[in-house]
Amino acid sequence: MNRLFHPGRVVFDRIVRTRVPTHTQRLFDTACVLGGSVAGLLAARVLADHATTVLILERDDADEPPRTGVPQDRQGHVLLPGGHMQIEKWLPGFSGDLQDQGAVLVESKHQAVYLDGRPRLPNRDLPILSATRPFLEAAIRSRVLAYPNVSALPARVTGLEFDNDEVCAVRYETDDGPRVLAAEFVVDAMGRSSKAAGWVERAGFQRPIEQRLRSDINYATALFKRSDDVAEHPLTTLALFTSPGAPDAVALGAALAAERDQWMVMLTAYEPDRPPASLEQFRATCAKLPPVFAHAAKGLLTREIRTYRQADSRRRDFTALQHFPARLVSVGDAVASFNPIHGQGMSSAALHGNCLSMYLSSGPRLSQAATQFFHLQSVVTDAAWALSTGPDAARLDALHGNEVASDVAQQRWNFDQVLQATLHDQSVADVYTAVSFMAAHPSLLVEPALVERAVRANERSSTP
């Protein structure tokens, strides 16, 4: 089934609108979060409402960047407004903290998006909080660790212990040697390379079913000094290329105002192409993109170019498992990591937090696997997966000359009509923006009325 038609819109809207509970029941003495990056921190915030003590085990010393456990954190990141709204809801004051420290809240009139070199109609009302990923993560961490019942321990998690059908403890190592922590609820937030599925399988349970789709995307990101003379340039610019012939094979370029008066400039390209790793070439490519790129990249380099490659999008499906331990869930990239050019990872992690809160507030049967949680979470994953893997699947089919079923070809044509109409029709652009910012469900993009409107707008724009 095409995931765009997944009947999850109602559930997605409920997840997005979930409120922070005002009265909660303490369900656990100790809850343990494995991995203290964005997803783990947000899960810890949710657990703070339900556990006497929440302990985060993180192998990196987060106060000593750069973080080796999060190699992608040196690449350009956009916190989508959908995720930003969720984080602000769970951690009120988060945006203000960040702005006080120099992050830039970019109102829609200072944002720009280009599609194949042409400006897309403006986003009308969703500001973007623009900063580097370590900066965002540090602000989340300090807010979460301010909860008196949440703490973090530098430790490498090495395994889980089970009591019959439940997780009951976490094994970990610190400088003082191996340890075991008894926990009544465990959240795996160890990222896309999490070993939790293997630990579960070795203990005799079922392993979540993993699905992968090649993305083969190469990144290069550098930081430059941002001078005051930016008035004529947008503060966030995304330049997306969907058709062949993009300058230097750029798939997505981003020029984003960041903290400490910097520009974060990011170039990406699909294999076999690579964005330039030398400054000279980087600037030369920027000169072929909308003017803000050359402007940003001509400044003093404040952090050299870093490259990164992500081979595939991945998701692990927990919904169909017959034998999975109780009191154990996964969140964030440990569940699904997408082609990063769509910027969905942190926002998905935030929505996983909402799912966790809904589950824990619903009086769950903790002696059974958290199936209700997995179903909620899969709605979030389906939504992000549909939007990011659709274009990847189309690109791979074109690359390999695959024959495409007529219904799939029709859906792709419809999607392309909607995308192209974001250049000419404000209503279509508004829906597309809300979906791509993870504030609305992607099934909106296949509504026949929207597709018809898009087709008409494209016809009008091509009529001389």
Ligand X SMILES: Cc1cc2nc3c(=O)[nH]c(=O)nc-3n(C[C@H](O)[C@H](O)[C@H](O)COP(=O)(O)OP(=O)(O)OC[C@H]3O[C@@H](n4cnc5c(N)ncnc54)[C@H](O)[C@@H]3O)c2cc1C
Q: Which residues bind ligand X (CB under 6 A)?
A: 34-40, 57-60, 69-70, 72, 75, 77-79, 156-157, 189-191, 219, 308, 310, 332-334, 340, 343-347, 349
Upper half-sphere CA count for residue 440 (Cβ side, 13 Å): 14
| DSSP result, 315-347 | EEE-TT-SS--BTEEE-GGGTEE--GGG--HHH
Our CB check for ligand X shows the closer of 37 and 86 to be 37
- Nearest-approach distance from CB 65 to ligand X, in angstroms: 11
Q: State the minimum distance, in angstroms, from the CB of residue 459 to ligand X.
A: 34
Q: What is the CA radius of gyration of the chain?
A: 22
3-state secondary structure of 134: helix
Q: Which is nearer to ligand X, 143 or 412 (CB)?
A: 143
Burial class (CB in 10 A: 0-12, 13-18, 19+), 75: buried
Q: CA-CA distance, 234 to 146, in Å (whole number)?
A: 35
* Nearest distance in Å: CB 38, ligand X: 4
Question: Is 39 or 429 the residue whose CB approaches ligand X more closely?
Answer: 39
Q: How far is CA 68 from CA 105, 141, 302, 433, in A?
A: 28, 17, 20, 33
* CB nearer ligand X, residue 335 or residue 421: 335
Q: Determine the Cα–Cα distance for residues 273 and 279; give it in Å rounded to an integer.
A: 17
- Tokens 């869930």 -> residue: 329
Would you say 350 or 454 has its CB closer to ligand X?
Answer: 350
Place of tokens 């830039």: 104
Provide the minimum distance between the beta carbon of 6 and ligand X in the complex, in angstroms, as a whole number. 21
Token pair, residue 229, equals: 């003379």
Six token digits for residue 61: 């010393």
Using the minimum distance from each CB to ligand X, give the nearer residue, 219 or 359: 219
Residue 412 Cβ vs ligand X, minimum distance, rounded to whole Å = 24
Check: CB of residue 423 under 8 Å from CB of residue 115.
yes
Rounded Cα gap, residues 134 and 77, in angstroms = 10
Residue with Cβ nearer ligand X (252 or 454): 252
Q: Please identify, using beta-carbon distances, which residue of 130 and 422 lies nearer to ligand X.
A: 130
**Rounded to the nearest whole angstrom, what is the least distance from the CB of residue 161 to ligand X in the complex?**
15
CB of 37 to ligand X, least distance (A): 3
Least distance (Å) between residue 114 CB and ligand X: 17
Minimal distance in Å, beta carbon 175 to ligand X? 14
Nearer to ligand X, 352 or 424 (CB): 352
CA distance 451 to 444: 10
- Contact in structure between 285 and 267 (CB atoms under 8 Å): yes
Instruction: Quote the CA–CA distance of 191 and 424 in Å, as a whole number.
Output: 39
In terms of Cβ atoms closer than 10 Å to its own Cβ (0-12, 13-18, 19+), residue 341 is buried
Place of tokens 């993180």: 58
